[in-house]
Each structure stands twice: as structure tokens, then as C-alpha cells.
Chains A and B, each alone.
Chain A
């Protein structure tokens, strides 16, 4: 979202309010984002690992199972290299840019992510309803900064009841 807003903003500057810039026209930014080199390196690594493990697969013919995995891995490595050098060519992150951790996990995101991870761990141990209710209620209470606690609990219970009714009793899905 943020990205597209930025592009929109630049487009506006160039062409006035009715921006006709579409997304296929790439407008490079002057500064790279914190960690941008890192993500290019990670995708390169994914490609390299993909190729490495594809070496174990049957090969030798043009129709072997390893053909497409190798092809996709090669494309990933090539494109990652391009992404990497493009990012290098750009200027360092702005002095005002947040640190990597702040950029990746600003305020609420890190809390919600923690909730999600705990939820994942709890889900197989507790019943679906219990863990989901906890996630919903705690998530809402946190995001509303501790206001409207009763409303959050009611909304959580109601929405969960609807979901469980639809999935368990209408669609016969046996919940974990």
C-alpha cells in the first residue's frame, strides 16, 4: 500500500492530479529501503537452494522432472542478482529512515505477529474455539488500546459463533 502511494505521489508531481501512471511503469526511488539488499540476497539464496536440491532429481532428458525446478531456480537467481545490483546502485537509506527492525516491525505489527505465532502454537493443543476466541478478543482489545472491552468480547464471541456454525454444522468441517 505504502509503495503504491509513493508511486502515486511521484506521478502526481509529474502529471498533475489526474495521474495516468499505471503500475507497469516503474519509478525507481532514489534511496533504498533498510534491508532491501537483504531481501535480494534471501531470494537469491532460495534460488540457489532450489537449484541445489533439484540436482538430486531425475534428469538427463528434456522431459525430466528436474527441468522446471532448475529453470525456475535459475530465473530466481538471475532476477535476484539484478535486484541486488539495482539496490546497490541506489543511495544508502535516508538518514531519517527507521532502523531495520523499526521498518519491518513497527508498533502494532510486532504485537499482532506475536499473537499469531502464539495462536499457531496453541491451536493444535487447545481447541480451535478456545484459541481463536483468545486471539480475537486479545487482538481487538489490544488494537482498541484497552477500550470497549465488553464490546470486543461480544463481537469476538458472536463472530466466532457464526463462523463455527457455518463451518461445523453447515459444511461439516470437523474443527481442530
Chain B
């Protein structure tokens, strides 16, 4: 124990590491906020950049960028309706309406506070229960990932923009678009028509930037005499009463986030979407209706994606299995720095675990300070007249899209999605479900097929799996319950209507 404490204190005793964590968080906030720049990208650049450094310093910087970056995604989501990262999609649903009402400062302030709280929840779970959760997460079969994706799709009901059938239409189009490209399991080409760029598939980040950002900009141009909302910046830091009021929701969503983050291959994006959905279903009296600026609609996804940071480190540090894309890169960094990430990592280099826990904690404190300092300047941005901001938003979308994989074709896709999104919005089709379909489509397809292959293409053994495995049974029942909870009977009984 004393030994662990000593490891925990490593970054505190090295001013250089301290500084790097703060720098990392600051840079991360910007990386996260700029659409197209992702933490994954920043982390892989940092590997080359920190090549000649000591591994501790390199990790300190990467941890800082990770924490800052996940937070930064929410800022652009709230301010200009372009989620800086997929994990902030759900945040845009309620954050942007709040900003339009002049409450951007309040939204970002609340987001910062609960983010720091959730980040600590993730860190505590990582420190206390990592091995248990890691072993449990291995038990998740392809069937269970399929069920999680189905749960994610249920969110279409919440973000469908009013008409469920139109929401499902948009969602299904998203799933269909996600099929474009080379099928990763058989190598078969689907909807590629011999085009190499279609073979590479349609990146959902590209679609997200177009469907959220450019379509919003175009929609704004419909109404002439555009006035930017005057921002109320009096009360940025939420009161204790507010914080306590939302504590149960924050804790619940953060824990959900830790768990989803700990599952290999699913990260903050899926966690945030599921958390938004559960918040919407379980909140009796939201501060405002969901989709129109409910504070709950910001708290749930933001706590979930921050919890997922600690979660993603769980399988990485205990088993050497990446919990998400960023931890996959950290594993690579460890290799390059001469370490052997794997199940023996905690035994052979025990200091690493506690040092990362400590770096993440310091990063969370830094996030609190840096986040709250930057609320006002950020909120001021949207007071700039729209005729100046909107062209810049479009160019930012263009350059961000290009940066994802240095592809001009992606820019065309992005603008195409922007125009499609504009038309869809005009007729009451929300764009959220389409992005959801694009994100979850491959997860649905691949895991369904794996399950089917495991059942040797027989329907009966395939269906049996859903009731014989305890995890699958639990998830199946949850989905049935979620569907039932949509019905009028249930809502009347619970007094939700």
C-alpha cells in the first residue's frame, strides 16, 4: 500500500510531469473542440513527438490530452452544434438549444463541473476494481455487443425530432450508408461500384460534421435578420444545490460510462449515447424538455464519456487490451518505449498503474481550473454576428474533415451530408438518427454475423444464446423493458405523463 502511494506520488514530485499534464489538458481542450482533430490523432502524433523522452513524461502528456480532449468535444457541440468528437453528439442535442437561449455559459460551466466529478468516478473505479471489471468485460460475447448496439438504436426514439417513423427512416439510411465499403470480415465490396474511395467506406465523423455543422449553418441562413443570442454569463459555476440535485444522475451515468468504456472496442461515444437515452427515459421532470435544452441532457452524456476515460484504461492496464482507440495508441507507445503491455504489465511494472491513476487525477483537477477559466471566452465566440461566424464554421468543418484522413474526397462527402441534412431538417427528419445509424451500423452488422457464425448459421441455436447466457439475457430483458417503457400504459403508471 505504501509502495502504491509512493508510485501515486511520482508525478507530484516531478514538476516537469505536473507541467506536462497541465499543458496536455490545455492542448486537449482545443484538440477536442476543433472538429476533425481527435484525441486519437493527437496521441499518435505525440508518440513521434515524445519519442526521445522518458516514458513517464510522455504518458503524463498523453493522459492530459486524453482528459482535455474528451471534454473539449462538448464545447463546439454546445456552441456551434458541431460535436468536436463523436462522444459529444448527445451533448449537442440539448447543449446547442441552451446556447441559443443565451445559456452557453451555464451549460459549459455545468458540463465542466460534472465532467470533473465523473472523471474522478472513473479513476476511483479504475484504482479499486480494475481486475474484476476487466475479467467481467472479457465475458461480453459478440451477441452482447450486438444487443448494446440495438440499445443504442432505441435512442432514435429520443432524438428522432418528433416523428418516430421519420427518425427510423433516417436511422436506417445511416445504417445503409455505413455498409458502403469493404466488408471487413469477408473482404466483399458492398455498394462500391468499383470506386476506390467508396471502398474505404464513409467515415461517420465526416458525416457527423456535415449533418450537424454545415446543415445547421445552412438552416440558419433561411431566416434573414439573424441575431446572435446575447449570452448570460453571470452564473457559470453551478451552485452546490444544483450539483447535489443532479448527483444521482451524474453518478449513474458516470458508472455506466466506466463500464461501457471498459468493454474492449467501445468507448465514450457509445457510452454517451446510452447514457443520454437512459437519462431521457428515467427523468420525470427535466429542467426543460429533452432536445430543447434539458440540463439532464448535458449531464448524462458528459459524465458518461468522462467516466469512460478511466474505464478505457481498465482492460488496457490489467490485460493489455485497449478499451478504445486512444488506449490502443498508448499500448503502442509503451511498446516503443521498451515496455511490454499485457497481463504482466501490472506485475512487472507496477508503478505504471498508479502513476497513470495519478496523472489522470491531476489532469481532472487541471480540467476544472482550465475549463472554468475558458468558459467566458468560449461563450463570447457565439456573440459574434452570425454572418461572420457561419462562414468560419463552414471552413472549420472543411479543414477538420480533411484532417481526419487527408482526403479531399471526404470534404465532398462532408458538404454533401451538409446539404442532405439541410433538406432532411426542412421536412422534420432529424439528422441525429442518421449519424447514430452510421456509428452503430458496423457494430450491429459485424456482431450479428459473428453470433450467427458461432451458431453455425442455425436460427435456433442463435436465438437460444439470447436466453442461455446471463449477460445476454440481462441485456435482452433491458431492451424489452426499454421498449415497454415507451408505451402509454407504462408512462401513465409511473406518472411520467
**Interface residues, chain A, CB within 8 Å of chain B?**
1-4, 7-8, 19-27, 33, 35-36, 39, 43, 46-47, 50, 53-54, 57-58, 61-63, 65, 67-69, 72-73, 75-76, 79-80, 82-83, 86, 103-104, 106-109, 112-113, 116, 119-120, 123-124, 128, 132, 135-136, 139-140, 143-144, 152, 155-156, 159-160, 163, 166-167, 171-176
Contact A67:B449 (CB < 8 A) given known A3-B425, A112-B218, A175-B399: yes
Chain B contacts for A2, CB-based, 8 A = 219, 222-223, 426
Q: Are A173's CB and B411's CB within 8 A?
A: no
Chain B contacts for A19, CB-based, 8 A = 289
Q: Are B169's CB and A171's CB within 8 A?
A: no
Q: Are A26's CB and B395's CB within 8 A?
A: no
Q: Which of B154-184 contact A (CB under 8 A)?
A: 157-166, 168-169, 172-173, 175-176, 179, 183
Contact A173:B394 (CB < 8 A) given known A68-B444, A76-B173: no
Closest to A42 in B: B423
B350 interface residue (CB < 8 Å to A): no
Q: Are B157's CB and A24's CB within 8 A?
A: yes
Shortest distance from the beta carbon of B458 to any chain A beta carbon, whole Å: 8
Partner of B168 from the list A53, A57, A79 (CB cut-off 8 Å) is A79
Chain A contacts for B219, CB-based, 8 A = 1-2
Shortest distance from the beta carbon of A167 to any chain B beta carbon, whole Å: 6
Chain A contact surface mostly = helix
Q: How far is the CA of A144 from the CA of B291 in the complex (A)?
A: 31
Q: Are B160's CB and A23's CB within 8 A?
A: yes
Residue pairs across A and B with Cβ atoms less than 8 A apart, 27 shown, are A1-B220, A1-B425, A2-B222, A19-B289, A23-B158, A54-B190, A63-B448, A67-B449, A68-B175, A73-B176, A76-B172, A80-B169, A106-B222, A108-B222, A108-B224, A119-B398, A128-B399, A132-B395, A136-B395, A143-B221, A143-B386, A144-B385, A160-B395, A166-B30, A171-B37, A171-B403, A173-B403
Chain B contact surface mostly = helix
User: Per-residue CB proximity of B422-457 to A under 8 Å, as 1/0?
Assistant: 111111110000000100010011001110110001
Contact A172:B45 (CB < 8 A) given known A63-B453, A116-B415, A124-B408: yes
Q: How far is the CA of A109 from the CA of B216 in the complex (A)?
A: 11
Q: Are A69's CB and B221's CB within 8 A?
A: no
Closest to B289 in A: A22
Shortest distance from the beta carbon of B163 to any chain A beta carbon, whole Å: 5
Q: Are A7's CB and B175's CB within 8 A?
A: no
Q: Are B222's CB and A69's CB within 8 A?
A: no
Q: Are A8's CB and B292's CB within 8 A?
A: yes
Q: Are A20's CB and B289's CB within 8 A?
A: yes
Closest to A166 in B: B34
Q: Are B448's CB and A109's CB within 8 A?
A: no
Q: Are B426's CB and A103's CB within 8 A?
A: yes
Chain B contacts for A113, CB-based, 8 A = 218, 419
Q: How far is the CA of A53 from the CA of B193 in the complex (A)?
A: 10
Partner of B169 from the list A7, A43, A167 (CB cut-off 8 Å) is A43
Q: Are B169's CB and A76's CB within 8 A?
A: yes
Shortest distance from the beta carbon of A125 to any chain B beta carbon, whole Å: 11
Q: How far is the CA of A54 from the CA of B192 in the complex (A)?
A: 11
Q: How far is the CA of A163 from the CA of B448 in the complex (A)?
A: 42
Q: Are B462's CB and A69's CB within 8 A?
A: no
Q: Which of B293-327 contact A (CB under 8 A)?
A: none
Q: Are B391's CB and A143's CB within 8 A?
A: yes
Contact A65:B186 (CB < 8 A) given known A22-B289, A135-B395, A140-B388: yes
Q: A24-B157, A50-B176, A109-B422 are in contact. List 10 more A-B contacts (CB 8 A).
A: A24-B164, A76-B173, A83-B165, A109-B222, A124-B408, A144-B385, A171-B41, A172-B45, A173-B399, A176-B408
Q: Are A79's CB and B169's CB within 8 A?
A: yes
Closest to A50 in B: B176
Partner of B188 from the list A24, A57, A107 (CB cut-off 8 Å) is A57
Chain A contacts for B41, CB-based, 8 A = 171
Partner of A62 from the list B402, B419, B459 (CB cut-off 8 Å) is B459
Q: Are B162's CB and A27's CB within 8 A?
A: yes
Chain B contacts for A58, CB-based, 8 A = 186, 188
Q: How far is the CA of A23 from the CA of B179 in the complex (A)?
A: 29
Closest to B407 in A: A176
B243 interface residue (CB < 8 Å to A): no
